[in-house]
Amino acid sequence: MATSWGTVFFMLVVSCVCSAVSHRNQQTWFEGQLPILEGEVFDSVKPGLSAFVDQPKQGAETVQGLLEVAKDSIPRSHWKKTPVVLKATAGLRLLPEHKAKALLFEVKEIFRKSPFLVPKGSVSIMDGSDEGILAWVTVNFLTGQLHGHRQETVGTLDLGGASTQITFLPQFEKTLEQTPRGYLTSFEMFNSTYKLYTHSYLGFGLKAARLATLGALETEGTDGHTFRSACLPRWLEAEWIFGGVKYQYGGNQEGEVGFEPCYAEVLRVVRGKLHQPEEVQRGSFYAFSYYYDRAVDTDMIDYEKGGILKVEDFERKAREVCDNLENFTSGSPFLCMDLSYITALLKDGFGFADSTVLQLTKKVNNIETGWALGATFHLLQSLGISH
């Protein structure tokens, strides 16, 4: 009989960062019988912690708001045995170390004053490879792929603001032989052994890619300098804050604009920078986060239901938007750049074929598809909680 883990856990999901993947030996995760998920209460706050780089106390107060949601969702009698955990992702990793530590310290203070169980190491920055693995666990658990020992699983693609992850279970020995050291992780889960291909690329998230496309990453000083791109409306003059730094940006007032010159810009960001496992062209993948958001923004999928797209659909929409920039002024000024980058990331970065099918979804069986559920399994195992 499967174990029931009910409402014993509240994971705080806060937008932040990941680190580069390091090689690891086989791990034992999620031992025991397959659990039964009884339900979920999901909430989020925007902007994430990294937006409060110079106001750590104010940033921690946003976490207090999530704890109030937990109080409303969990019976008071269970508060003391309900663990709370904050796992920061790539946004915090990109911050100066002393500023990231200041934010995490204030969150720890909020946790310390809360009525919940605060495990050791409950506030931390998550390793990027773990983020990919945990998202893979979440999706394959929710889709029923982990029920049994068939290992017929789906891959996952996650595109955050600062990093991007790709994770799948290789089916061909050639993939295992040709994969660089550090991209493969073996672990035990629910009495099965999995050897995953997983990698997190720090600096290749959507917002970090904008900086790279604009050339801002190679420029030491930004004061008084305006970064220009063929991906932006010609008339645009604006400012944008990312990672606590303010950038001035705008369109090419006299140069080229449109898809072709824009694609040439984003191509420089990804070409030759990512490993391309040949097997991905034939795999089945779920894609979420900014893949999902940009598809919704351009009416390629429904916000609530999600949808199925091919890689070539992103390129088609990128061409439509970029070659008609004046007609898309109501949305994000980065829409052309973002769609072009997603296209380049999938095709020229990871090596997906135009015809590769992607399932874009926010929820499976009404449960969020991110890494939080997988992290729940890992936490409960580490705490020895089984009921």
Residue pair 78/8 in contact by the 8 Å Cβ criterion: yes
Return the sign of the alpha-carbon dihedral for residues 142, 136, 172, 358: positive
The structure tokens 């809360």 sit at 114
Residue pair 291/352 in contact by the 8 Å Cβ criterion: no
Helix, coil or strand: residue 185: strand
Residues involved in catalysis: 131
Residue 2's identity, in one-letter code, is A
Residue pair 126/158 in contact by the 8 Å Cβ criterion: no
Give the C-alpha distances (Å, rounded to integers) separating 213 from 217, 228, 230, 270, 374: 9, 9, 10, 10, 33
Cβ neighbours for 152, distance < 8 A, ≥ 6 positions apart: 145
Residue pair 88/67 in contact by the 8 Å Cβ criterion: no
Closest-CA residue to 167 (of 288, 48, 338)? 288
Cβ neighbours for 23, distance < 8 A, ≥ 6 positions apart: 181, 182
